[in-house]
Structure 1
Amino acid sequence: MSDTSNDGVLAQHRVRTLAALTVPAILIGVVSGLILFGLDEAAHLLQLLLWEDLPGAVGMDPESGWWIFGMLTLTGAAVGLIARYVPGHAGPDSAESELAESALPIGVVPSLAAAAVLGLAGGVSLGPENPIIAINAAVLTVLVGRLFPKVPGKLIVGMTIAGTVGALFGTPVAAALLFTGIVGSTAGAGALFDKLFLPLVAAGAGAVTMNLVGGTLLDITVPAAGNVNGWDILAAMIIAPLAAAFGLLGIFAFRWAHRMFHRLQNPVLFTTLGGALLGLLGVIGGPLTLFKGAEESSKLLSTPGESFGTLLLLAVIKLCALVVAAAAGFRGGRIFPSVFIGVAFGLAAGALLPGVPVSVVVSAAVLGLVLAVARDGWLALFIAVVITSDVAITGLLCLAVLPAWLVVTNAPHMLADDGGGGHRGPAAAPKS
């Protein structure tokens, strides 16, 4: 058979394989979105109970220092008890693993879900991304493995990451960019999109499902910039690397803090201590510095006229809260609180540069913070663009990411066991 015939046969086989795997990819995306919605809704209902119903029943102000300190300390103790005594022990420490490197045993899911929901509802400064990806990977590896036994487990995990990322941000674009960086170095142009095909299907299904049942979790609106000028570009190229350097301060502090907390060995001790420290930070920073930071970012953007000092203090407190929460054994992700830190840092920069549009200073700062914490240029660019909904500044951000990347490229990642240098992204590229 000629080479041309062989190529044709291989192409037909590839098409049939991708078409056959589309069904489990859609299933993975839909289930990923539904589980995310369920976990987020459970956390929201528990948050209402802890921060509205309960203080109302006992006649206390939920924004008072005593309530904030007490609630976060008790949240830390509860998460520590789960990690110490409940079967599954709340899964691996989020500070020691990146997304879903492999599927966890299904028996870990209940304790991990409980720890994640408690943290989200109790005011801990972490997002849902790490635990929900781990939960979805464990559940879907079992479910899809039974319904479609020929689908490789590694591919299921890869599609689950894509489906969950699509659901988290309400669009498959973030997942596409994330996986482009993962598989791009090992695939040619045609093979690259073949490898992106199934993650895109899963991400699209996850995004559509989440939009239908609950909407995106990152619902932040920044006023459009309109036309940008040279000064705006210069400002963005300065703010983004400064924000990235600010984020790196937190990463270096995190690595030290993680060692200090874990010297206590017992998770009940170090998560309770972490909760108490988070409570003190919450007393200083107020309710805006609590929780994952998405709703709080919107509130901060809708509160004009804050001074430079106040905004910078909010950024510092939230960065400290992120460091403590990540280091003290709480289960959660770091992207959502990084967005809040970026918004506060950007607004602080805007207070010094009143002539630069808010969308420019905020998106540049968010770009730098997410880049430092997540160490993924595509994801940082996507989040910076999506919070502004302003295509006009996309080119500006593509320039701003360059000096910011030079700042972070050789620095350690926000992982307890990472010495810097190597990429510690999601699971390895899935093969189809």
Structure 2
Amino acid sequence: MSGPAARSPAADEADPGRLLLGRGYLRILLLSLCLGVPIAVACFFFVGLQRWLQHLVWEELPHTLGLGRAPWWWPLPALALAGLVLAPIVTRMPGGGGHVPVRGLGGKPVGPPALPGVVLAAVLTLPLGVTLGPEAPLMAVGSALALFGLHALRETVDARSTSVVATAGSTAAISTILGGPVVAAIMVVEAAGLAGPRLAVLLLPSLAASGAGALVFTGFGHWTGLSIGALALPTVPPAAKPDAGDFLWGLPAAVLVAAIVTAAHRLGERTCTWTSARGTAARTLWCATAVGVCLTVYALLTGRSPEEVALSGQDTLARLAQQPHAWSVPALVALVACKALAWGISLGSLRGGPIFPAVLIGVATGVACSGLPGLGVTPGFALGITAAATVVTGLPLTSSVLAVLLLGRDAYDQMPLIVLTAVVAVLSSHLLARRRPAQDVPAPSGEGRA
């Protein structure tokens, strides 16, 4: 198949309509639309299996053993097992189990040879309590399946067309848990930094794949009744219109969220350097065990379930939205501290996505700050989501749209605070970055480094 790159870039810029209506590009668009369906089906069962195993480990197994809920010591053997499972995947399997999450969601598309390692790392370790989300493995699965589809159809494409199809596959995958195609499409636009005809070339296949995938994903959810663990708030605390107090306290709280997320991310960079230096397998096990210690410390300090700090954080986020006052301020502080430490360690050593835990850290910080006079709970949610997502992704527009979608009807009144929080978070993260020396984060080789 001759892709859009068959003509010169200058001709593309001069006549974008000719590019978008060309036979090669229309074939890419149709292929992306068709790939969105099987990718969504695969992602549905991928996430459904992960959620089922999570429920089995943290709910069913403790109950079967007569323990009721998971006891304070439960994370120690669970995370040690996660480290034992992940170590050979990281050091022996192609692709090293996927991207190191501290490097973000970017990087080269994951090819089909690396797909087994990505799936095994996510399905076998995330349910055990690793404090990372499913979004990065989902994007890897989407891009690998898209490239596999190209190979299976025996399509001949150039590098540019291959990149477009891989991006469409990863967008279709992540849109299933980020509230639909809109957030995923905006993420593609903002992350790519494109404009003009190049924007349409990348965006239209991504929209086609994610739109078709969202329909299938939603249909399978209703048909099977399985939980997919999408980032969502079923209930949002009722809120009055924001006033001066919300901005007076809210913007400094956004700086605090940015500082906490940045510090945890810096810990992830140091952890990645440490685990990549030598003895990767043993150090991966040590890091997983350290995450378990963080979860145990939270349970001992608060008397609450360690599950609140474990995993990606979607369930705890939903409970915070439903009952924000069920946590005391000291419990919220412990939640933020232990979650941030566990997340920072996981970022540089384990495998998963960085966004979901960061959002919980931001929201818990915002809710804790809502005890200040004049700052409401819903503004705390709004600034927490926006500031944390902005810092961890570096995408303020995507983070603002995500906050608006999560807050639902309350978003309209909170939008001024949301957009100002995004600005403050960007400036704060850049200011904090300037105050430390640049540090390269090594990429995993996926070769037998033990």
Return the TM-score normalized by structure 1. Answer: 0.85
State whether structure 2 residue 336 is matched by structure 1 residue 315.
Answer: yes
State whether structure 2 residue 295 is matched by structure 1 residue 276.
Answer: no
Q: 2:74 is matched by which residue type in structure 1?
A: W
Decide which moves more: 21-30 or 50-59. Answer: 50-59
The number of residue pairs the alignment matches comes to 407
State whether structure 2 residue 236 is matched by structure 1 residue 222.
Answer: yes
CA distance in 2, matches of 1:212, 1:369: 31
CA distance in 1, matches of 2:131, 2:140: 19
Aligned to 1:115: 121
Over 3 Å counting, the alpha-carbon distance change for 1:53 and 1:175 in structure 2 is closer
Aligned to 2:109: 103
CA distance in 1, matches of 2:36, 2:96: 24
Over 3 Å counting, the alpha-carbon distance change for 1:149 and 1:201 in structure 2 is same
CA distance in 2, matches of 1:411, 1:55: 42
Instruction: Please tell me whether the aligned partners of residues 210 and 216 of structure 1 are also in contact (alpha carbons under 8 angstroms).
Output: no
Q: 2:195 is matched by which residue type in structure 1?
A: A
Aligned to 2:346: 325
Instruction: Please tell me whether the aligned partners of residues 24 and 148 of structure 1 are also in contact (alpha carbons under 8 angstroms).
Output: no
CA distance in 2, matches of 1:404, 1:7: 34
Per-residue deviation, residues 130-165 of structure 1 (Å, max 9, x unmatched) = 122112211210213432714521111121232123
Q: 1:260 is matched by which residue type in structure 2?
A: W
CA distance in 2, matches of 1:403, 1:100: 24
CA distance in 1, matches of 2:15, 2:294: 63
State whether structure 2 residue 208 is matched by structure 1 residue 187.
Answer: no
Aligned to 1:130: 136
Per-residue deviation, residues 27-82 of structure 1 (Å, max 9, x unmatched) = 23223322221111111222233233433444344521232211111121111133
Aligned to 1:369: 388
Aligned to 2:48: 41
CA distance in 1, matches of 2:190, 2:211: 18
* Alpha-carbon shift at residue 172 of structure 1 (Å): 1.4
Q: 1:332 is matched by which residue type in structure 2?
A: G
Instruction: Please tell me whether the aligned partners of residues 245 and 372 of structure 1 are also in contact (alpha carbons under 8 angstroms).
Output: no
Q: 1:187 is matched by which residue type in structure 2?
A: A
* SS of the residue 2:371 aligns to: helix
CA distance in 1, matches of 2:42, 2:267: 33
Aligned to 1:174: 183
* Alpha-carbon shift at residue 243 of structure 1 (Å): 0.9
Q: How does 1:1-400 map to 2 (within 5 A)?
A: 11-12=17-18, 14-17=20-23, 18-85=25-92, 87-88=93-94, 90-95=96-101, 97-99=103-105, 101-147=107-153, 149-151=155-157, 152-184=161-193, 186-188=194-196, 192-214=199-221, 217-220=230-233, 221-267=235-281, 269-285=282-298, 286-303=306-323, 304-328=325-349, 330-353=350-373, 355-389=374-408, 390-400=411-421
Decide which moves more: 70-79 or 122-131. Answer: 70-79
Aligned to 1:426: none
Per-residue deviation, residues 285-335 of structure 1 (Å, max 9, x unmatched) = 22200111001111233332432222121011111110111122x110110
Pairwise CA RMSD: 2.8
Task: List alignment gaps of at least 5 residues for structure 1.
Answer: 1-5, 421-432
Task: List alignment gaps of at least 5 residues for structure 2.
Answer: 1-11, 222-227, 299-305, 442-450
Q: 1:106 is matched by which residue type in structure 2?
A: P
Q: 1:366 is matched by which residue type in structure 2?
A: I
State whether structure 2 residue 424 is matched by structure 1 residue 403.
Answer: yes
* Alpha-carbon shift at residue 96 of structure 1 (Å): 6.2
Instruction: Please tell me whether the aligned partners of residues 247 and 417 of structure 2 are also in contact (alpha carbons under 8 angstroms).
Output: yes
CA distance in 2, matches of 1:168, 1:106: 22
CA distance in 2, matches of 1:277, 1:56: 25
Instruction: Please tell me whether the aligned partners of residues 91 and 108 of structure 1 are also in contact (alpha carbons under 8 angstroms).
Output: yes
Return the TM-score normalized by structure 2. Answer: 0.82
Instruction: Please tell me whether the aligned partners of residues 412 and 418 of structure 1 are also in contact (alpha carbons under 8 angstroms).
Output: no
% identity of equivalent residues: 24
Over 3 Å counting, the alpha-carbon distance change for 1:149 and 1:288 in structure 2 is same
Over 3 Å counting, the alpha-carbon distance change for 1:410 and 1:211 in structure 2 is farther
Instruction: Please tell me whether the aligned partners of residues 190 and 398 of structure 2 are also in contact (alpha carbons under 8 angstroms).
Output: no
